[in-house]
Amino acid sequence: FGPVDIQAFRQGSYRRRIEGMIPQAEVVFLDEIFKANSAILNSLLTLLNARRYTHGTESLRVPLISLYAASNEVPTDEALSAVFDRFLLRVRCDYLDSYHFRGLLQKGMNLEARTMAEDEGQARKVATAAELLAVQRRFGDLFTASEEFMATFKGLVFQIRSEGVGLSDRRVVKLLKLFAASAIFDGRTQVNDADFFILRHVWNTPEQEDLLQEIVGPVLDRWYEQHPDQARIGATPTSLKDLLEELKVIRETLTGSEVLSDMQLFSQLRNLGDIKAALQRMHDNPAAQRMVGEVDKLLETMFASSRFV
């Protein structure tokens, strides 16, 4: 929130120098948020709830639009539950699948090169704060949902709660804004069942991720079966070329003359499973579906070998 204003403190007023700090920010990212002390978290809670910040004897309206945070641990302390509940979505960052490895290295090298350059240049502007605010103000006009959508949403919420995943009424209401945002990014003016992918990220502990997938997955699968021309929202973009290159490397490794350890062998087989799953998600790509058969043949060959007898 800024350093203490020493001059004001000497005059008997406890204030902070907030220039360029959170109280004046529109979009905020906080790293290791749950390492903050209780005083900071309480101020943050007021800021998130009411968009206000107590500055000495004044209560200032803050221009905050969105706040993002990162943490290496999920809070278990009840004292942190109120702040944690204000974050609608929880997304776990895991290691990338093997077929994204080449892209990871290339993008990482490009980022390092830009960082070390004398003139990094400005980041590409995606949207201005004014544009984001304009969209927010039109939420009532932009959000249109059918009775069927709301009925499905209600059913999913109560099923999630019945499985022991806490989902407060506050978050349920706020999730409607995220459904609308999902539809807008997908070029639609009305939400549909494809937007329920958001509910996979309302967990309170990482162990609940699989449970949410079991609840939400069938609804999404049914939608895409009925609308085969629609690409899955929220899926990580995957290049068929990258998949085929990775498949070639795995095939050469598994069928080569070098003897693999059990750990190496099972690692490659797991990678094959990941590639097959990624190919199967490309429903409208005939080449991808043909490669699913190639993966199956390779798996059958390996399981028929003496290593698995």
The domain that contains 145 carries what CATH number? 1.10.8.80
Is residue 217 located within the same domain as residue 148? Answer: yes
Picking from 171, 194, 226, the residue at the C-terminal end of a domain is 226
Is residue 52 located within the same domain as residue 29? Answer: yes
Q: How far apart are CA 175 and CA 182, in angstroms?
A: 11
Is it the case that residue 118 has pLDDT exceeding 90?
no
Which range marks the domain in which residue 26 is found? 21-85
Is residue 206 located within the same domain as residue 258? Answer: no
Count CB neighbours of 285 within 10 A.
Answer: 12
Is residue 249 located within the same domain as residue 204? Answer: no
Is it the case that residue 236 has pLDDT exceeding 70?
no
Is residue 139 located within the same domain as residue 217? Answer: yes
What local confidence, expressed as pLDDT, does residue 198 receive? 94
DSSP structure class, residue 86 = T
14-28, 227-241, 266-280: least confident range:
227-241
Is residue 251 located within the same domain as residue 207? Answer: no
Q: Is residue 122 one of the residues assigned to a domain?
A: no
Is residue 152 located within the same domain as residue 184? Answer: yes
Is residue 165 located within the same domain as residue 213? Answer: yes
Closest CA to 241 of 102, 130, 110: 102
Is residue 165 located within the same domain as residue 218? Answer: yes
Please compute, for residue 216, the number of CA atoms within 13 A of its CA located in the half-sphere on the CB side: 21
Is residue 38 located within the same domain as residue 68? Answer: yes
Q: Is residue 129 one of the residues assigned to a domain?
A: no
Is residue 208 located within the same domain as residue 152? Answer: yes
Q: Is residue 206 one of the residues assigned to a domain?
A: yes
pTM: 0.72
Contact 96, 90 (CB under 8 A): no
208: confidence class by pLDDT, cuts 50, 70, 90 = very high
Is residue 187 located within the same domain as residue 150? Answer: yes
Residues sharing a CB contact under 8 Å with residue 2, sequence separation 6 or more, in sequence order:
16, 17, 18, 19, 20, 21, 22, 23
What local confidence, expressed as pLDDT, does residue 167 receive? 92
Q: How far apart are CA 285 and CA 46, in angstroms?
A: 50
Best-predicted range by mean pLDDT (57-71, 124-138, 244-258) = 57-71
Tokens of 298: 């390779």
Q: Is residue 93 one of the residues assigned to a domain?
A: no
Is it the case that residue 158 has pLDDT exceeding 70?
yes
Place of tokens 């085969």: 228
Residues sharing a CB contact under 8 Å with residue 146, sequence separation 6 or more, in sequence order:
190
Q: Is residue 75 one of the residues assigned to a domain?
A: yes
Q: Is residue 208 one of the residues assigned to a domain?
A: yes
Picking from 197, 226, 255, the residue at the C-terminal end of a domain is 226
Q: Is residue 127 one of the residues assigned to a domain?
A: no
Q: Is residue 123 one of the residues assigned to a domain?
A: no
Is it the case that residue 80 has pLDDT exceeding 90?
no
Is it the case that residue 309 has pLDDT exceeding 50?
no
Picking from 192, 226, 260, the residue at the C-terminal end of a domain is 226
How many folded domains does the chain comprise? 3
Q: How far apart are CA 212 and CA 201, in angstroms?
A: 8
